[in-house]
Amino acid sequence: MTLRWGSVLALALLFVSPVAARAEQETSAPSHIEAVRAFLVGWGHESWDDMQPVAADSITVRLGDKVFDLAPASRKSEVMIVFPFHGLSTVRAGEEVKGVAVQELGLRVGDKEMRGPATVTLKEENGHYRVVGLSFGAETHTGSVPNDDDAPSASVQ
């Protein structure tokens, strides 16, 4: 009787293991989406050390006609992110990843808080993506094509 149950258990493990591995692979986001998520979460929590691997030394943040600096390397920011953010999707020019569109992002400058769409501009270096800019507002996707097919939505509080 024990041998029979052992055989059934072994057979069940053979079928379940590949299914679990495949499900894990399907839930992981592309590296550029993960880089932007890590950047936004690090920025929002002021975790400068967590941001540095995925961010340029100086990042230009555009809010309409105003331009602000974000400097993770020197731990300074004139503008802060307000959680939650959601709706991350790839922005491409042809096949090349240019950035990530954020469906809704909150930003605070001084005591003024605003919410809306944004585009995070990326630069690829040796297979790793780094954030080099962020544009906030209605005209953030001009000239680029957001692609929702490969990016899960993320919400962080």
Amino acid 148 reads D
Return the pLDDT at 141: 46
Of 25-34, 53-62, 122-131, which range is least confident? 25-34
Average pLDDT, the chain: 79
Give the residue carrying structure tokens 């379940």: 16
The Cα–Cα gap between 55 and 71 comes to 9
- Encode 27-89 in three state secondary structure: HCCCHHHHHHHHHHHHHHCCCHHHHHHHEEEEEEEEECCEEEEEEHHHCEECCEEEEEEEEEE
Question: Residue 29 has what pLDDT?
Answer: 83
Lowest mean pLDDT among 18-22, 64-68, 146-150, 152-156: 152-156
Q: Are strands 80-93 and 145-147 parallel, antiparallel or unpaired?
A: antiparallel
Higher pLDDT, 74 or 15: 74
Coil, strand, or helix at residue 13? helix
Assigned CATH class of 30-147: alpha beta
Q: What is the pLDDT of residues 78-102, one digit of tens each?
A: 899 999 999 999 999 998 999 999 9
pLDDT reading at 17 higher than 60 = no
Domain boundaries, the chain: 30-147
pLDDT at 28: 80
What pTM was estimated for this model as a whole?
A: 0.71
What pLDDT, in 10s, does the model give residues 27-41? 588 999 999 999 999
152 burial level (CB within 10 Å; 0-12, 13-18, 19+) = middle
CA 63 – CA 58 distance, rounded (Å): 16
Decide: residue 80, CB within 10 A, 0-12 exposed, 13-18 middle, 19+ buried.
middle
Enter the tokens of residue 4: 């029979």
* The residue type at 123: K
